[in-house]
Structure formats: structure tokens, C-alpha cells
Amino acid sequence: MPTNHHKQRENSAQTLIRARLVGLEGQFWLRFDANRCLTHLEPMEAEIPLEFQENVLDIAGDLLSLGGVDLQINGGLGLAFPEVTQADLPQLQEICDYLWGQGIDAFCPTIVTTSLENIRRSLAVFAEFWGDPQPNTARILGIHLEGPFLNYEKRGAHPAQHLQPLTLKNLQQVIGEFAPMIKIITLAPELDPSHKCVEYLRSLGIVVSLGHSLATETEANQAFAHGATMITHAFNAMPSLHHREAGLLGAAMVNPDVYCGLIADGQHVNPTMLEIFLRAAKQPFLVSDALAPIGLPDGVYPWDDRQITVTHGTARLDNGTLSGTTLPLFAGVKNLVRWGICDLEKAIALATLAPRKALGMATWTTGKPINLLRWQGVDGTVEFSRL
């Protein structure tokens, strides 16, 4: 890693001109102060004050985006987030550095189903790390707990012995004192027909995402009515669309208040189904769902008390069960463009604007520091660089 990675960038105030911005129509000029705070965002037709006409960078019509936001990533550089200990604090920083290099501004470390002891130890380590944010590195938005309140029949690669019934008592035991740092919890809503757990989580400000579930359309809609606002990795670990039973997936796709996470690696969801989904879903967004070996070459790696084999970025258990990917978030963006499913701007928005919207975060907002990616065509492919 570069030795000066965390030093504050030596910035001076700067004006960018002739920039196209993902999610906005037309070309713009932008003004940043010396702390990279966006102070002005105006259409090119608007006059640029004379005092802003020094240190000008002409973007020449290139596309600019915010950095990526990954709401589901399970580890990195060989470290699985459910297994972190205090000794891993330096490696957590290395993971944040690596993700920053992959264009990621912020992410939700995901703790999948494991023992209560492991969950609470991992939360304690992240709480310590979370309290010491560094500049110029991917920051942690909060933890995504994927489990242990999942449907046994749709557990996928989650270990059955650590699944728990969805009750308030169990939920409170898992969360403990860590509620302020938990951003998302994935659960199967049919495990609690009263939906008191969904209401409780929403009262804590935690986003409830439905997944690893056999919920019917009616059960899903009831959970949405009680405060669930997201689904986890659409199509995977849930019944697919059926013309007589829309199920959880169908209910989520047509609800304008529900955000649908999607993995675009070509393995979790067939590209044709990706295209159908993206045409129909009201609020889709991309996730990587990347496992601990992200940033490492293909090979065989430990995974809880089992092992996974990574081939061309796809991870499977020994029995062939798909367990995840090791491709970064923007690999999905490039796939969608390469397959002709989305134009570049829409694909980028799915990894930058859409996940921010899912968490109620600001996007192109003045008065806040903003990191930018500049997108350009290189030898027939699309690449980005940090500005």
C-alpha cells in the first residue's frame, strides 16, 4: 500500500468545468474548497465568478460520478468479517485502502450467520475500528447483519446450526449494545408473523432487508407495511418469479419504496434475468456480495469451518453451492455495460447513487466533502480514476 495513503490530500480550491454528472442532465461546473467540500454546482450556462477562474480543470465532457457504496461485502484480502479479532485491526485498514483503490467510498461490512459469540466479538472489533475513521480510504457506514434470522429452507451457504428463531429476545441478544453501529439486518419475515421484530428494528433506525426467505407476496407486503425497505440479493435465496405467485421478489420489485440489491457477476443471476429485472424493478441497486478472498487470486480458501474454491471470481462450497464472488462492485457495472443491459451512466448510478438513496444518504449536495471518479473509454473498455 502507498505509505502516504492516509495523509490529507494537498488540495487547493479548484473549479471543474464541462463535467457530465451521473444522474443529472447536461454539463456543469463545480467548485471545491481546499477541503474538497463541494461549494457550488451549476449548469455550464451559469456564469463562473471571476474569483473561481483560477485552478480550473476542464473535464471536456467526461462522465463524473460519486464513489461506489457497497452495502453487502463479507470480507477482504483473506479476512472474513464474522471472524475478525482485535489483532485484525491493521488488516481492516488494509481492506478499506484496497476498496478505496477499487473506487469504493463507503461500505457495510457484512456479518453472515455464525455463532452469537462470533457476532458479538466481530461487532466489538468493528466498534473500535469505526471510532477512528481515516481520510482517503473507504469508510464504514455500519454493519450489515445477514442472519442469523433466516429461513432454514433458504439458508443457502449459511450454516444451519447457527440459525435462530426470529424473536424479540433473540434479536436483542444479538444486537446488544451495538444498535448504533448496525445499519442493515437481513431477515426472513415469515419467521415472525407479528412483524414486531421489524418494527423494533425500525425504531432503532436499522434498515430491515428481507432475504433468505420463503415469504409469499402477502407476507412480504405485510413486512413492507411494518417498515422493511429492502431485499437482499434479488433472486438468490428466495423463490423466483412465478406467474401465479409473485412472492417476495415480485412484491419488492413493484414497490417504489423498496430497494432491491442485485449481484451482477453473471453467476448469481443470469444476464437475461438481470435485464428483465432492471427493466421492471422500481428501486434496484448493485452489491458485490464479495467474500473474504476479494483482492486475492483464485484458489481454495477457508470459510468458517468449511472451505470455498474460487474460480474466475466465483466462490463455491465443496458441494457446489454458490457462496459468493470475489469481484469488486464496479465489476458489476462493467458487466452490465459489456452485456448491453445498461448504458454506462445508468450502470454507474446503480453502484453509486442508488445505494446512497437506499440508506437516505446525500448525493450531489453542496456543503459536503465529495470524492469523484472520472470515467473514460480505454481500448474499448471503460475505466475510472479518482480526481
Catalytic amino acids? Answer: 289
Angle at 252 between CA 189 and CA 21, to 5 degrees: 130
Cell numbers describing residue 25: 442532465
DSSP string, 189-232: GGG-TT-HHHHHHHHTTPEEEE-S----HHHHHHHHHTT--EES
CB–CB of 187/196 below 8 Å? no
CB–CB of 366/41 below 8 Å? yes
CA distances 247 to 27, 127, 187, 265, Å, are: 42, 36, 15, 24
Helix (H, G, I), strand (E, B) or coil at 41: strand
What is the torsional sign of CA 287, 293, 295, 298?
negative
Whether cis (ω within 30° of 0) applies to the bond prior to 148 is yes
Helix (H, G, I), strand (E, B) or coil at 272: helix
CA distances 77 to 137, 288, 290, Å, are: 15, 15, 11
How far apart are the C-alpha atoms of 164 and 184, rounded to whole Å?
17
How far apart are the C-alpha atoms of 61 and 83, rounded to whole Å?
45
Among 260, 253, 251, smallest CA distance to 281 is for: 253
Contacts of 20 (CB under 8 A, 6+ apart): 26, 27, 28, 59, 61, 62, 63, 64, 345
Cell numbers describing residue 221: 407486503
How far apart are the C-alpha atoms of 228 and 274, rounded to whole Å?
23
| Neighbour-count burial for 328-367, b at 16+ CB within 10 Å, e otherwise | bbbbbbbbbbeeebbebbbbbbbbbbbbbbbbeeebbeee
